[in-house]
Amino acid sequence: MIGRWCLIVLLGLGLNGCALFQGRDPLNISVIGIEPLPGQGLELRMAVKIRVQNPNETPVDFNGIALNLEVNDQPLAAGVSNQRGHIDRYGEQVIVVPVSITAFAFLRQAYGLSQVESLQGLPYVLRGKLAGGPLGTLRFTDEGRLDLPDAAGG
């Protein structure tokens, strides 16, 4: 009898816990800048600036971030940071993450770009995750188009 009562209480608590996480909107992420950083050897380094907006009633605490950037449907850069942060409810924060571009990824991109007619409107996809906090890891994706300077005509 006691075991059955404990099971009912645990099921009730589990259902209430699931109800707390329903209706949470995804974070809004946008790339707002990319700046060069010093690299080593054949590696290129950049600082990717992203704006993270929290459209929810509850704040987001994080203790790490990871990014993967694809350009023109090819992997380009990846980076991680163990920085900590707090994004208020209905708040936003700019996060800077250092990313690395290997020589192989750079050459693959250069070859892919030589096959396109214009450097305008190249598709990019940024995938990442914010780690930690009471809600666990929050994954995000940002997609858009890059307009790179055209070497031929300025």
Burial of 50 (0-12, 13-18, 19+ CB in 10 A): buried
**Residue 64 domain-assigned?**
yes
Confidence of residue 119 (pLDDT cuts 50, 70, 90): low
CA atoms of 21 and 52, how far apart (whole Å): 20
Share of the chain above pLDDT 90, in %: 37
**Residue 9 domain-assigned?**
no
**Residue 6 domain-assigned?**
no
**Residue 20 domain-assigned?**
no
**Residue 56 domain-assigned?**
yes
> Minimum mean pLDDT among 17-21, 50-54, 55-59, 124-128: which range?
17-21
- The domain containing residue 39 runs over which residues? 25-147
Q: What is the pLDDT of residue 11?
A: 61
Q: What is the pLDDT of residue 19?
A: 43
Of the ranges 6-10, 104-108, 121-125, 133-137, the best mean pLDDT one? 121-125
Q: How many domains does the chain fold into?
A: 1
**Residue 67 domain-assigned?**
yes
pLDDT single digits (tens) 55-87: 999 898 999 999 999 988 889 899 999 999 999
Q: Work out the average pLDDT over 83-112.
A: 89
Six-digit token pair at 76? Answer: 């380009």
Question: Does 119 or 84 have the greater pLDDT score?
Answer: 84
Q: What is the pLDDT of residue 154?
A: 46
Confidence of residue 148 (pLDDT cuts 50, 70, 90): low
Q: Work out the average pLDDT over 106-120.
A: 73
Nearest to 51 by CA among 70, 27, 32, 78: 32
CA atoms of 63 and 137, how far apart (whole Å): 10
**Three-class DSSP category at 66:** strand
> What rounded mean pLDDT belongs to the chain?
81
Q: What is the pLDDT of residue 18?
A: 47
CATH number at residue 125: 2.60.40.1820
